[in-house]
Amino acid sequence: MRIDIITIFPEQFESVFKYSILKRAQQKNLVQIVIHNLRDYSTDKHKKVDDYPFGGGAGMVMMIEPIYNCIQHLQSQNRYDEVIFLTPDGELFEQKTANYLSTLNNIILLCGHYKGVDERVREHLITKEISIGDYVLSGGEIAAMVVTDAVVRLIPGVLGDETSALSDSFQDNLLAPPVYTRPAVFNGWEVPAILRSGNAQEIENWRHEQSIKRTKERRPELLKK
Ligand code: 6GU
């Protein structure tokens, strides 16, 4: 899979994809993450990428031209399955969205800023709009990082243990059960005996019960899905 990210803050991404699972996925060539500086696609002598809104009002609007140039350039080199705009008024990002995106070959993530982008970008260039939750971030960059992380870990071969993405919270609309490691007793606080029993079937049953209990307590609406 290839993920192209278009941003006015390319430096913000420098360290994020250099650790842990995302780093390993790139080293194994399971994903290629390419960051593009939108300013490089501005034809303006000051590398301008935003301008005043028609009709007046506060805040700047991201211009269509640099975005068009950048997307055209990428599309001349690769075929993209989705061109995604990160925006608080997009469709809510959920595990099923991550599952879907992880099945694609190439995607573009466009990070929004200022008061938004020229609506013609959304009408003519974008195929999908994603929000990562009902709160407002300063820009789409952190949202693009969230989406990238959630998607890349689902690509087959990225996680060491192929089954571990399936046991993630939300994969079956259940929260994950509690986990423990040594020591078996710390400060008088004990690990549940069943996890030390060696009975695989009973452990699996216990974990499933705990998942349901936890979901009922914390996220009851998930059980209705
Ligand atoms: Cl994708 N962008 C911004 N700016 N704010 C958000 C968001 C995205 N998702 C939730 N809040």
pLDDT tens per residue, range 15-71 = 999 999 999 999 999 999 999 999 999 999 999 999 999 999 999 999 999 999 999
For residue 24, the CA-to-ligand 1 centroid distance in Å is 27
Q: What pLDDT shows up at residue 69?
A: 98
Q: What pLDDT shows up at residue 165?
A: 77
From 85, 89, 93, 137, give the residue whose CB has the most ligand 1 atoms within 8 Å, as the site to mutate: 137
Tokens of 78: 């690769």
Write out residues with Cβ below 6 Å of ligand 1: 86-88, 112, 130-133, 135-137, 139-140, 143
Q: Would you identify the CATH topology of the domain 2-152?
A: Alpha/beta knot (3.40.1280)
Mean pLDDT across the stretch 197-201? 98
For residue 160, the CA-to-ligand 1 centroid distance in Å is 31
Which pLDDT band holds residue 162 (cuts at 50, 70, 90)?
Answer: low
Q: What pLDDT shows up at residue 170?
A: 82
Cβ atoms of 126 and 110 within 8 Å: the answer is yes
pLDDT tens per residue, range 69-121 = 999 999 999 999 999 999 999 999 999 999 999 999 999 999 998 789 999 99
Q: What pLDDT shows up at residue 164?
A: 72
Mean pLDDT across the stretch 202-210? 98
Question: Is a pLDDT exceeding 70 seen at residue 163?
Answer: no
Cβ atoms of 1 and 28 within 8 Å: the answer is no
Question: Is a pLDDT exceeding 90 seen at residue 166?
Answer: no
| Domain 169-224 coded CATH 1.10.1270.20 | yes
Percentage of the chain modeled with pLDDT above 70: 99
Question: Is a pLDDT exceeding 80 seen at residue 161?
Answer: no
For residue 138, the CA-to-ligand 1 centroid distance in Å is 8
Tokens of 193: 């005996």
Residues of the chain with CATH 1.10.1270.20: 169-224
Length of the chain: 225
Mean pLDDT across the stretch 195-204? 98
